[in-house]
Amino acid sequence: MKELPYQAKAVIGRREMVTLPELGLHLCCKADTGARTSALHAEEIDTHEDEDGQLWVSFITHSGGPQTPAHRYQLHLHDRRRVTSSNGHSEWRYVIRTPMQLGELHFPVELTLTDRSNMRHPMLLGRRAMRRLLIAPGAAFLHGEP
């Protein structure tokens, strides 16, 4: 077997609880090696430019599912990317960059904003965020129970 080109920081399960401290969110995410970029459930997504010419994005999301109260957030717009979903549908999405905590790990993550209301998990953790992690697909919540 070939050696890994890096030292893994941690092993995670197919589902993990993560915290987005800048947003005050603690939610369940699904590890998805098929997705390049991570995604966060967002509704009523809107962008605007401030007086200094900086772009901002505002959106609404829920911390614990559709039955929990919605919160509106406003963050710097990091990027705008074309994303192709697993069913082949392609769309432009806004991207935010925010700190994330997964167990003892703390690192920045880029999240595309999209409506995930029909999905089981409000957040998807993609390959870019999992670069130094190993995934145990038969395990879940290795870094804390929901």
Question: Rounded CA gap, 115 and 137, in Å?
Answer: 25
Per-residue pLDDT band at 63 (split at 50, 70, 90): low
Q: What is the pLDDT of residue 48?
A: 93
The closest of 129, 109, 111, 126 to 41, measured between CA atoms, is 111
Q: 70, 56, 66, 67: which is closest to 24 by C-alpha?
A: 70
Q: What CATH number labels 10-136?
A: 2.40.70.10
Reply yes or no on whether the pLDDT at 11 is more than 70. yes
pLDDT at 140 over 90: yes
pTM: 0.90
Residue 122's φ and ψ, nearest 5 degrees, are -70, -15
pLDDT band at 89 (very low <50, low <70, confident <90, very high): confident
pLDDT, tens digit, 9 for 90 and up, residues 119-132: 889 999 999 999 88
Listed residue (33, 35, 11, 54) closest to 111, CA to CA: 35
pLDDT at 84: 87
CA distance 146 to 142: 11
Contact assessment for residue 139 and residue 13, using Cβ atoms and an 8 Å cutoff: yes
For the stretch 68-86, pLDDT in tens is: 778 899 999 999 999 987 7
Residue 87 has pLDDT above 90, yes or no: no
What count of other Cβ atoms lies within 10 Å of the Cβ of residue 145?
7
Q: Is the dihedral of CA 10, 107, 60, 82 positive or negative?
A: negative
pLDDT band at residue 112 under the 50/70/90 scheme: very high
